[in-house]
Amino acid sequence: MSSEKQKVVLLTGFAPFDDESVNPSWQATRALHGRHINGHRIVARQLPVEFGASLKELRTAIRETKPVLVLCVGQAGGRASMSLERVAINVDDARIPDNAGAQPIDSEIVRAGPAAYFTALPIKAMLAALHEAGIPAEVSQTAGTYVCNHVFYGLMHALRNRRIRGGFVHIPYSPEQAGRHPGAPALPVETVIRGLRIALQVALETGTDRRLAAGAEH
Ligand code: PCA
C-alpha cells in the first residue's frame, strides 16, 4: 500500500508554556511522527498553547490529514501518571495567560454547546494495557479548564457527527522539568512514547470499551 493510501492517526502535542523551555507532550508525539501502528501512519503536529489558535490548527490538521483517530496530548505538571481523560467541559477559565496573553475567565468554548463531551476512546482498555506494560496510568475525571480542555472539547465538538474517534491524554513533567519543581513527579519521555504507542494500538483495536472500575471519590 502506498503511504498516501494508508490510514492516518493524528497525534498532537503542545508548544512549551508557563516558563518551560520544553513540552514533553511535543517531545513524545514528535518522536512518533512517521511511525506506523497496526498499518496506520502516525502524523504528529504541534499545537500552540493559545485559546482559539490551538483549535483552529487542530481543525486544519484534521482537514489535511483525514485521520481515523485523533489523540491530543498535553503536559500536566504535578500529575504522576499518564492521565486518560474521560470528559471535556465547555468552559475556559485560565489560571495564567496563554502564550498569546489571553486569559479567558468562565467563557464558553462553543456558544450554547453541550456542557460536556465524553472521550470516544476506550480508556478502560487503554488503562489496562498500560498497567500490564508497567506504565503508570489513570483515568482522569477532569482535563482542567485551560488550553488542553479547550482543545479536547473543541476536538470532540468537531468530531461529534463524524466517524473519527478522538480523545485526550495528559502526561507528567519530564525528569528534566521536574528537577526545577521540587517534589513534582516525573515520567521519562521514553516511557511516555512507549505508553502512547500502547494507547494508540488499543484504541485502534478496541470497539467496545472494557468494564473496569477506574473512578474516583474526589
Ligand atoms: N498543558 C496545558 C496546555 C498545554 C499543555 O501542554 C493544559 O493542561 O491545559
Q: Tell me: the pLDDT tens digits for 136-172?
A: 999 999 999 999 999 999 999 999 999 999 999 999 9
pLDDT of residue 6: 92
- What percent of the chain has a predicted confidence (pLDDT) above 90? 97
Over residues 44-55, mean pLDDT: 98
Question: What would the mean pLDDT of 1-30 be, rounded to a whole number?
Answer: 91
Whose alpha carbon is nearest atom 2 of ligand 1? 148
Structure-block grid coordinates of residue 139: 483515568
User: Hey, which residues are catalytic here?
Assistant: 85, 148, 170
Domain regions of the chain by residue span: 7-205
Give the position, in ligand 1's atom list, of the atom nearest the Cα of 13.
Answer: 6
Quote the pLDDT of residue 90: 99
Q: What is the mean pLDDT of residues 185-198?
A: 98
Asked whether residue 22 carries a pLDDT value surpassing 60, the answer given is: yes
* The architecture CATH gives domain 7-205: 3-Layer(aba) Sandwich (3.40)
Residue list, ligand 1 pocket, CB within 6 Å: 14, 17, 23, 25, 49, 74-76, 144, 146-148
184 band by pLDDT with thresholds 50, 70 and 90: very high
pLDDT at 29 over 70: yes
Please report the atom of ligand 1 found closest to the CA of residue 151: 9
CA dist., res. 198 & res. 65, Å (int) = 22
CA-closest residue to ligand 1 atom 8: 148
> Can you tell me the distance from the alpha carbon of 31 to that of 190, in angstroms, rounded to the nearest whole number?
9
Reported as a single tens digit per residue, the pLDDT across 53-64 is 999 999 999 999
Instruction: Return the residue matching grid coordinates 521540587.
Output: 182
pLDDT at 4 over 60: no
- Mutating to test ligand 1, I would choose from 11, 12, 17 the residue with most ligand atoms within 8 A of its C-beta, which is 17
Best residue among 170, 173, 177, 187 to mutate for probing ligand 1's pocket (most ligand atoms within 8 Å of CB) is 170
* Residue 113: partners with Cβ closer than 8 Å, 6 or more residues away: 90, 153, 157
Taking alpha carbons only, the member of 53, 214, 31, 47 closest to residue 126 is 214
**Mean pLDDT (whole number) for 188-212:** 97
For residue 7, give Cα distances in angstroms to 2, 38, 51, 70, 152.
Answer: 10, 10, 29, 12, 22
pLDDT band at 5 (very low <50, low <70, confident <90, very high): confident
**Ligand 1 center to residue 76 CA distance, Å?**
6
pTM over 0.95: yes
Atom of ligand 1 nearest to the CA of 49: 4
Say yes or no to pLDDT of 3 above 70: no
DSSP labels, the chain = --TTTS-EEEEEEE---TT-S--HHHHHHHHHTT-EETTEEEEEEEE-SSTTHHHHHHHHHHHHH--SEEEEEEE-TT--SEEEE-EEES-B--SS--TTS----SB-SSTT--SEEE-SS-HHHHHHHHHHTT--EEEES---SSHHHHHHHHHHHHTTTSS-EEEEEEEPBPHHHHTTSTT--B--HHHHHHHHHHHHHHHHH-SSPP--------
CA gap 169, 191 in Å, rounded:
14
Per-residue pLDDT, averaged over 67-88, amounts to 98
Decide: 217 and 32 in contact? Cβ < 8 Å: no
Distance 84 CA to ligand 1 centre (A): 14
pLDDT band at 27 (very low <50, low <70, confident <90, very high): very high
Q: What are residue 189's phi and psi, to 5 degrees?
A: -60, -35
The pLDDT confidence band at residue 115, using thresholds 50, 70 and 90, is very high
CA atoms of 165 and 68, how far apart (whole Å):
7
Using the predicted structure, report yes or no on whether residue 74 has a pLDDT greater than 60: yes
